[in-house]
């Protein structure tokens, strides 16, 4: 074999070349002084498409939405200082939800680091608590290795964001260096556990099969490793009831008979009741966070908890797991099946008959019913209409607030990666850019963004980016003229003292959408809703902004009662469990 | 409960700040920290003393282990182990009696006077943290303590047990 010619190139060219070698198709970014060399290298090629955003926070959310919709790592490119710090909220959002992302940030030249140079920020320091890892690249020849490692770390084990900080002199186009892309990334200090421990798996299976009141509690981890079909197979084989977390919606089909819907603070009655009364909980890629457990002291007192997670630190963090299994959900479930003997379907059904009867009784209380009105559009109704007009098959991103919970509860996602929301950080302003990322990933699919009058204004400038790239996103804005979720808490806890949760000078969103070159539709009457929604989705290649006036006084129910058990809930303004 | 945790990590810039950051970010106690490269200079060994109940300690070890730069972690407290800390302490020795008394105490504790000026003695003492605490207390009764500096604990498990990459 002849020796391969070593290619010589500048640091900037290496950055772009390494992205190509990794297979990156889209980079969401915004230029500036420290990254001008990299931008110049981007100019001369077509394999890596750069998307020019209007704000770096949005670039991070786009990369995030792209990753959630595909499972592939999202990429961000920003300049030093303000460009880098603008991504912080986006990085934190991705970190909290374990989303694979690589942020390439420019940095002042190495020799000026520490001098408070123009647009200098210690990006590695600023982002340290919200990244999985970070690199400050000191030499051009280290660029391919650092970038390869960044992508490897971001999208293996428990995924997460990785920052690669690139000083301007390191990417300098004037100098050439040999380019070596590592064939395989290996790190002695980083070897995530993928396979579950056999002893633990056997123990888990035995407990699960003996249980009389079992439940599966499925989180975002099952989506991260594409384990949905295995999750469904296990549930069906063992006839288990399943509840999905806010991050896990779609991991098990929301449309399935055995699905109890979402659990937690705004979970369904049947999901929370079943959890509380279960004798065995099989937690798959979920992390028992405070928005699920309510008071941990009162959490599921009868249950033996089997916790499968790829991150050992997630196990027994808030709630003690009786049978911990460290590993990827996908691999561990495959191991489950290998260990499982022939299951007699009728026997299973009989064993769980009483349990299912009880669950049906809870279900029959129909906790998601709501009062319709002739005058006012109910937010729930909007989501139901959205479901109908998208055949339940759209990519739906959401912002944060009441509209988010309505979307989570009233749009039963049948497939994973369709529901794209900021669960852990709860970042208002996430919805529109995340939808854009999903649309870039799936140009032929229907992408809707469920948002509120407050949230949409946090990244509304991206309507301009949508026009530039012809993204036909459907923005479904539930306009209640209020920071509704804040207002709801003020109604419930502060005797209706609406301190600063009212928006007195909302823009005319229809005109605003038009000013950005899109279609705006205002809907004010319940009887207009269906027709307007139809018009919205008929405009296939245009962005449509639906400004839908909804009832300002609607609350999201069910809702857990603070300090209570999982199933201590309010079911409406007047009823509780 | 007091714990001694040993960590083997990449000797990379920024690695230490990640460990320290983790402790403050997650609200863990960091009582002392002792760090230096080992025989393989691409690695550093850290010894952390911390305090917390079993649940907290379990979280600390898991979270530290999760850092990409960390190769190994081990809580050496429960097993039989050796721990040492080094202290340099400067005391004022204004009179002959004080000097004699200081010298006697240093001998009892098997310390060493490593620097002498007309008005001060600087003493080096190695031992467990308890021993160092007790020395400081005793010395405080005899002479005025001018300043002191301690390295924090470093430790190893006894016997065959070892922590290698
Ligand atoms: C960046 C950010 N700031 C503040 C909050 C706190 N917060 C949560 S929901 C909410 C109100 C959201 O209002 P809107 O987008 O109109 O949604 P609605 O609840 O009215 O449906 C606020 C302020 C947040 N989640 N994110
Ligand atoms: Mg609102």
Q: What is the mean pLDDT of each run of 10 residues along chain B (165 residues)?
A: 96 94 95 96 97 95 97 95 98 95 97 97 97 97 97 96 90
Mean residue pLDDT across chain A: 97
Which among B92, B88, B148 has a CA at the least distance from the CA of B119?
A: B92
Per-residue pLDDT, averaged over A482-498, amounts to 97
* pLDDT for B90: 98
Report how far apart, in Å, the C-alpha atoms of A506 and of each of A394, A402, B71, B86 are.
28, 18, 54, 66
> Does residue A550 have a pLDDT over 70?
yes
> Does residue A96 have a pLDDT over 70?
yes
Percent of chain B residues past pLDDT 90, beyond the cut = 97
Per-residue pLDDT, averaged over A381-403, amounts to 98
- Please report whether residue B33 resides in a domain: yes
* pLDDT for A352: 98
Per-residue pLDDT, averaged over A166-189, amounts to 96
Q: Which two tokens stand for residue A414?
A: 């049948």
As for how many domains chain B has, the answer is: 2
Q: Using the beta-carbon criterion (under 8 Å), do A128 and B17 form an inter-chain contact?
A: yes
- Please report whether residue B165 resides in a domain: no
Q: Confirm whether the ipTM is greater than 0.85.
A: yes
Residues B86 and B74 in one domain: no
Q: Which residues of A285-319 are buried (b: 16+ CB within 10 A; e: fewer)?
A: bbbbbebbbbeeeebbeebbbbbbbbbbbbbbbeb
Quickly state the pLDDT bin for A5 (edges 50, 70, 90): confident
Q: Which of B55, B79, B103 is the last residue of a domain?
A: B79
Residues B23 and B9 in one domain: yes
> Does residue A2 have a pLDDT over 90?
no
Distance in angstroms (rounded) separating the CA atoms of residues A382 and A484: 16
CB within 8 A of A74, min separation 6: which ones? A26, A28, A62, A63, A64, A65, A66, A67, A94, A99, A100, A101, A102, A437
Quickly state the pLDDT bin for A4 (edges 50, 70, 90): low
Is the entire prediction scored with pTM above 0.90? yes
- Please report whether residue B145 resides in a domain: yes
Instruction: List domains and CATH numbers for chain A.
Output: 7-179 (3.40.50.970), 198-363 (3.40.50.1220), 379-556 (3.40.50.970)
Mean residue pLDDT across chain B: 96
Residues B98 and B56 in one domain: no
> Does residue A552 have a pLDDT over 50?
yes
β-bridge mates for residue A136, sequence order: A165
Residue A199 in contact with partner chain B when CB distance is under 8 A: no
Dist. CA A555 → ligand 2 center (Å): 12
Task: Supply the DSSP string of A454-483, one letter for each residue.
Answer: TGGGGSTTHHHHHHHHT---EEEEEE-SB-
Quickly state the pLDDT bin for A1 (edges 50, 70, 90): very low
Distance in angstroms (rounded) separating the CA atoms of residues A566 and A440: 39
Residues B12 and B67 in one domain: yes
Residue located nearest, by CA, to atom 8 of ligand 1: A401
> Does residue A289 have a pLDDT over 80?
yes
Report how far apart, in Å, the C-alpha atoms of B13 and of each of A124, A136, A137, B19, B69 are.
11, 9, 11, 12, 10
Structure confidence by residue, pLDDT tens digits, B44-80: 999 999 999 999 999 999 999 999 999 999 999 989 9
> Does residue A55 have a pLDDT over 90?
yes
Per-residue pLDDT, averaged over A476-497, amounts to 97
* pLDDT for A391: 97
Q: Which of B58, B79, B100 is the last residue of a domain?
A: B79
Distance in angstroms (rounded) separating the CA atoms of residues A215 and A108: 53
Q: Using the beta-carbon criterion (under 8 Å), do A125 and B18 form an inter-chain contact?
A: no
- Please report whether residue B162 resides in a domain: no
Percent of chain A residues past pLDDT 90, beyond the cut = 98
- Please report whether residue B19 resides in a domain: yes
Structure confidence by residue, pLDDT tens digits, A423-437: 999 999 999 999 999
Per-residue pLDDT, averaged over A480-486, amounts to 98
Residues of B in Cβ contact (< 8 Å) with A191: none
Residues of B in Cβ contact (< 8 Å) with A189: 9-10, 68-71
Residues B120 and B134 in one domain: yes
CATH of the domain at B86: 3.30.70.1150
Quickly state the pLDDT bin for A503 (edges 50, 70, 90): confident
Kindly give the number of the ligand 1 atom that is closest to the alpha carbon of A453: 16
Contacting A with CB below 8 Å, chain B residues are: 9-10, 13-14, 17-18, 21, 25, 55, 58-59, 62-63, 65-66, 68-71, 165
- Give the domain range for residue B17: 2-79
β-bridge mates for residue A519, sequence order: A544
Residues of A with active-site annotation: 56, 118-119, 168, 485
Residues B135 and B100 in one domain: yes
* pLDDT for B134: 98
Structure confidence by residue, pLDDT tens digits, A21-44: 999 999 999 999 999 999 999 997
Distance in angstroms (rounded) separating the CA atoms of residues B8 and B69: 9
Residues B148 and B86 in one domain: yes
Quickly state the pLDDT bin for A3 (edges 50, 70, 90): low
Dist. CA A455 → ligand 2 center (Å): 7
Dist. CA A477 → ligand 2 center (Å): 9
Report whether residue A423 contacts ligand 1, using a CB cutoff of 6 Å.
Answer: no
CATH of the domain at B43: 3.30.70.260
Q: Which residues of A545-565 are buried (b: 16+ CB within 10 A; e: fewer)?
A: bbbbbbbeebbbbbbbbeeeb
Residue located nearest, by CA, to atom 4 of ligand 1: A428
């Amino acid at each position: 074999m002849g020796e391969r010619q070593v290619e010589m190139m500048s640091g900037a060219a290496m950055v772009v070349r390494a992205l190509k070698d990794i297979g990156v198709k889209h980079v969401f970014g915004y230029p500036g002084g420290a990254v001008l060399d990299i931008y110049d290298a981007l100019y001369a090629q077509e394999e890596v498409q750069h998307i020019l955003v209007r704000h770096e926070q949005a670039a991070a959310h786009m990369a995030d939405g792209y990753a959630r919709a595909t499972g592939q790592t999202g990429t961000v490119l920003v300049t030093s200082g303000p460009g880098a710090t603008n991504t912080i909220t986006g990085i934190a959002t991705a970190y909290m939800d374990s989303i694979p992302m690589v942020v390439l940030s420019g940095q002042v030249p190495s020799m000026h680091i520490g001098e408070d140079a123009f647009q200098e920020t210690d990006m590695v320091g600023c982002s340290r608590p919200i990244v999985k890892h970070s690199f400050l690249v000191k030499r051009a020849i280290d660029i391919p290795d650092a970038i390869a490692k960044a992508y490897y770390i971001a999208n293996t084990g428990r995924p997460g964001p990785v920052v690669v900080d690139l000083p301007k002199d390191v990417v300098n186009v004037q100098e050439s260096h040999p380019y070596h892309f590592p064939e395989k990334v290996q790190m002695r200090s980083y070897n995530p556990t993928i396979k579950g421990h056999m002893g633990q798996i056997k123990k888990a299976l035995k407990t699960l099969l003996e249980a009389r009141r079992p439940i599966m509690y499925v989180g975002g981890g099952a989506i991260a490793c594409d384990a949905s079909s295995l999750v469904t197979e296990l549930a069906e084989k063992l006839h288990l009831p399943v509840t999905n977390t806010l991050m896990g919606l779609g991991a098990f089909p929301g449309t399935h008979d055995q699905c109890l819907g979402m659990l937690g603070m705004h979970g369904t009655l049947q999901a929370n009741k079943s959890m509380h009364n279960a004798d065995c909980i099989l937690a798959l890629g979920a992390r028992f966070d405070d928005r699920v457990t309510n008071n941990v002291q009162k959490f599921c007192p009868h249950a033996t908890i089997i916790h499968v997670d790829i991150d050992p630190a997630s196990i027994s963090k808030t709630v003690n797991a009786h049978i911990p299994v460290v590993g990827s959900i996908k691999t561990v479930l495959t191991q489950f099946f290998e260990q499982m003997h022939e299951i007699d379907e009728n026997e299973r059904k009989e064993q769980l008959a009483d349990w299912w009867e009880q669950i049906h009784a809870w279900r029959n209380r129909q906790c998601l019913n709501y009062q319709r009105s002739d005058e006012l559009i109910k937010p729930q109704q909007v989501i139901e209409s959205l479901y109908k007009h998208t055949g339940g098959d759209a990519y739906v991103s959401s912002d944060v607030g009441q509209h988010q919970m309505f979307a989570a509860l009233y749009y039963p996602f049948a497939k994973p990666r369709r529901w794209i929301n900021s669960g852990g950080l709860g970042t208002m302003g996430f919805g529109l850019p995340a939808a854009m990322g999903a649309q870039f990933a799936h140009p032929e699919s229907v992408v809707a963004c469920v948002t509120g009058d407050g949230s949409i204004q946090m990244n509304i400038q991206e309507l301009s980016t949508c026009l530039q790239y012809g993204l036909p996103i459907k923005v479904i804005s539930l306009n209640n003229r209020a920071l509704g979720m804040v207002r709801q808490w003020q109604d419930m806890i502060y005797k209706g003292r609406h301190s600063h949760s009212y928006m007195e000078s909302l823009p005319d969103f229809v005109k605003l959408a038009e000013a950005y070159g899109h279609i705006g539709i205002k809907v004010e009457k319940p009887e207009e809703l269906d027709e307007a929604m139809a018009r919205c989705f008929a405009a296939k290649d245009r962005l449509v902004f639906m400004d839908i006036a909804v009832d300002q006084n609607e609350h999201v129910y069910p809702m857990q009662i603070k300090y209570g058990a999982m199933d201590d809930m309010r079911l409406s303004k007047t009823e509780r469990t | 409960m007091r714990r001694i945790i040993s960590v083997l990590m990449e000797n990379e810039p920024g690695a230490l700040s990640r460990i320290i950051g983790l402790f403050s970010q997650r609200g863990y106690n960091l009582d002392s920290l002792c760090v230096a490269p080992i025989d393989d200079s691409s690695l550093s060994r850290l010894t952390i003393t911390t305090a917390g109940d079993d649940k907290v300690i379990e979280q600390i070890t898991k979270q530290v282990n999760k850092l990409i730069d960390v190769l190994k972690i081990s809580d050496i407290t429960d097993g039989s182990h050796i721990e040492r800390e080094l202290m340099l302490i400067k005391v004022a020795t204004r009179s002959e009696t004080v000097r004699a008394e200081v010298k006697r105490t240093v001998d009892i504790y098997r310390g060493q006077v490593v620097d002498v000026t007309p008005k001060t003695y600087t003493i080096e003492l190695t031992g467990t943290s308890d021993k160092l605490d007790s020395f400081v207390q005793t010395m405080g009764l005899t002479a005025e303590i001018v300043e002191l500096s301690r390295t924090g604990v470093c430790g190893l498990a006894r016997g065959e047990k070892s922590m290698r990459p």
